[in-house]
Amino acid sequence: MSLIRKSKQVIKSSEITPESVYLNRRSVLQTIGTLSTGLAINLFANDSISANENQLNFSPNTGYSTTEPINSYEDITTYNNFYEFGMQKSDPYNYGSQFEPKPWSVKVSGEANKTGVFDLDDLIDINALEERIYRLRCVEAWSMVIPWVGIPLASIIKKLQPKLNAKYVAFETVYRPKQMPGQRRPALDWPYIEGLTMQEAMHPLTIIAVGLYGKELLNQNGAPMRLIVPWKYGFKSIKSINKIHFQSKQPLTSWNISAPNEYGFLANVNPEVDHPRWSQARERRIGSGFFGTKQPTLMFNGYAEDVANLYSGISLRRNF
Ligand SMILES: Nc1nc2c(c(=O)[nH]1)N[C@H]1C(S)=C(S)[C@@H](COP(=O)(O)O)O[C@H]1N2
Ligand SMILES: [Mo]
């Protein structure tokens, strides 16, 4: 599994890859994962698609991936929630291009031994990237299946050596109203903030994504680094993070500040607890063809086996 990432050759996928082509490429990758690195290089040297610098080396993590059909690159990069660029689903695609995600640094503060300002590369080992195909379930009752490229958040947190009283991790999105037109309007209390319990942050399903479809994240998806917590509603997965803070108290979160009766801190996907204004029992899979077709939403977005134990003894109705 760790063979491919050592290769200097990049893994290629065209700009807008049809799912079938992408999945074929994936099965090739899984096969060569068991062969030698040298062979992998040769295979890709023969690939007709030329290398782009925004393509990433990664190893597929099949153990943590769903086998459901993945959404198209076009769906994933044109239908977004990123209020910093506007409130319409097409706004992040249309108005995200002024944002400059390079170079990037992250300020780490609070209850940890290693604090200060870190370059992206200091926090994220680019040679350890994994691909994980996760469902993303938005609180607005739509969903997508996305092949993320990233690393476990736990690997970053371990580097930062949180102290024993660090019970929570708080995250902040960059504040750049000149590059983010949505931040020039009071849609939310900027900057966007989110948080997790330390247990949730250290959970092996929780990742920091730097790419998708094998390529670096585009601005609309939260370049250059964003959180992914697949068993929670999408709004927990904060984008373009430039601050991480370890603390003993539960962090404030943007959507909870904005509408506390609608969006809680935990925000676990739960088909049995409706949003005050709509049902959470079903979801519309983006790109599923016939408009309005809905499928049942799964408890913890289908990750119950892995995460239900984090919440034993807690009322998920009261702690929504
Ligand atoms: N900073 C920031 N992060 C954010 C948001 C946002 O508006 N601002 N929207 C959230 C919501 S509601 C969802 S559903 C996901 C959408 O991620 P995607 O556009 O990459 O699919 O991002 C989350 N992260
Ligand atoms: Mo969302």
Structure tokens at 108: 């780490």
Report the alpha-carbon distance of residue 231 to residue 169 in Å, rounded.
17
pLDDT for 234? 98
Closest CA to 77 of 60, 59, 96: 96
How far is it, in rounded angstroms, from Cα 166 to Cα 290?
47
Sign of CA dihedral 288, 232, 303, 228: positive
Q: Which atom of ligand 1 is nearest to the CA of 76?
A: 21
Radius of gyration (Cα) for the chain, nearest Å?
19
Q: What SS3 string covers 230-258?
A: CCECHHHCCCCEEEEEEECCCCCCHHHHH
Nearest-atom index, ligand 1, CA of 82 = 7
Bond before 296 cis per omega within 30 degrees: no
Structure tokens at 259: 């509408």
Q: Determine the pLDDT at residue 293.
A: 80
CA-CA distance, 215 to 207, in Å (whole number)? 16
How far is 191 from 306, CA to CA, in rounded Å? 31
Which of 80, 235, 236 has most ligand 1 atoms within 8 Å of CB, for mutation? Answer: 235
Q: Please report the pLDDT score of residue 67 as a whole number.
A: 97
pLDDT tens track for 186-220: 999 999 999 999 999 999 999 999 999 999 999 99
Q: Whose CA is nearest to atom 1 of ligand 1?
A: 239
* CB of 95 sitting under 6 A from ligand 1: no
Residue whose CB lies within 8 A of the most ligand 1 atoms, among 71, 75, 82, for a mutation test: 82
Could you tell me the two tokens for 277?
């204004």
Q: What is the pLDDT of residue 289?
A: 72
> Token pair for residue 308?
């239900």
Does any ligand 1 atom lie closer than 6 A to the CB of residue 136? yes
Give counts: helices (H), strands (E), the chain. Answer: 9, 13
Pocket lining: 265 vs ligand 1, CB cutoff 6 Å: no
**Token pair for 255:** 């959507």
- Name which of 117, 147, 185, 158 is nearest 56 in CA terms: 147
User: Is there a contact between 271 and 192 (Cβ–Cβ < 8 Å)?
Assistant: no
- Judge if the beta carbon of residue 135 lies within 6 A of ligand 1: no
Q: Name the CATH superfamily housing domain 14-311.
A: Oxidoreductase, molybdopterin-binding domain (3.90.420.10)
Q: Which residues contact 116 (CB under 8 A, 6 or more apart)?
A: 107, 108
Q: How far apart are CA 177 and CA 170, in angstroms?
A: 21
Pairing of strands 241-247, 168-173: antiparallel
Q: Is 221 in the pocket of ligand 1 (CB under 6 A)?
A: yes
Identify the pLDDT of residue 156.
98
Q: Which residues of the chain have pLDDT under 70?
A: 1-53, 290-292
Q: Whose CA is nearest to atom 19 of ligand 1?
A: 80
- Ligand 1 atom 24: the closest Cα is on which residue? 238
Q: Which of 137, 215, 239, 263 to mutate to test the pocket of ligand 1 (most atoms within 8 A of CB)?
A: 239
Cα 93 from Cα 46, distance rounded (Å): 33
Cα–Cα distance measured from residue 91 to residue 184, given in angstroms and rounded to the nearest whole number: 14
Report pLDDT for 51: 55
The reply to whether ligand 1 has any atom less than 6 angstroms from the CB of 234 is yes
